[in-house]
Each structure stands twice: as C-alpha cells, then as structure tokens.
Amino acid sequence: MHKFLVDESAGKKLVLFLLDRKHDAVYVGDIMPKASDMEVIKYAENKKRILITNDKDFGEFIFRLKEPSSGVILLRLKQDSPLQRQKYVYKIISQLSNRLSSSFIVVTEGKIRIRRL
C-alpha cells in the first residue's frame, strides 16, 4: 500500500477522505505547519511518501534542482474544490496504483500526464 503526504495546498479534507478509505495519509499542516516546500519534499522522500499537492513549485525542485522524490501527484484543476480533489485523487489511485511510486503525475480535468522520476 502506498503512503501519502498531503500538502497544505491540497487541504486536510483530502487527508480525511484518504484515511476513510484506509489509505496511509498524513497532512503537512498537522506534522510541520508552515514548512517550506523544500522541507516538505525532503520529508516526503525521507518517509517514502507520495506527495499530493496543488503547488507546481515542486516540479522545479524535482526536475531543475534534481531533488529525489518517491512520487508526486500535482493537481491542476480548474474547478478546484475539496470534492474535485477527492474525485481525481481517488481516480488516480484506483487506475494508476502501480505507477504512483517514482512518478510525477499532473492531473487536470481533461488529461493525466505521467513522467517517471
């Protein structure tokens, strides 16, 4: 089973949604509130957690600065709400479970892009 770290930008409701479905999920705001993006990405990698975020800056850390990562799900939803985040994260986890680790996944309403790390 995958372990997830949900960034503050994606919200605590997403963590509660994942926990209700028996996923291992932790909220950044509970364990390290106001942490920098670099601290978040390092924590996620150290704990081997897949980061779920709305913050596109994590792409820069991983691709430009070459920070190691156990995986990222980047939500770029035009209709961004807790329910939409839950819907798309559940879809990704259900359909792409075997590709979550070591991938950078960008999710929009119309497209899912997967880049291996």
CATH number for the segment(s) 3-116: 3.40.50
Reported pTM: 0.95
Does residue 1 carry a pLDDT above 90?
A: no
Q: Is residue 20 helix, strand or coil?
A: helix
Residue 94 is predicted with a pLDDT of 94
Cα–Cα distance between 55 and 89 in angstroms, integer?
A: 15
| Region 111-116 average pLDDT | 95
In the chain, what percentage of residues exceed pLDDT 90?
Answer: 97
Averaged pLDDT for residues 42-49: 97
Tokens describing residue 58: 């994590």
Taking alpha carbons only, the member of 65, 49, 42, 51 closest to residue 104 is 51
Task: Map out the domains of the chain as residue ranges.
Answer: 3-116
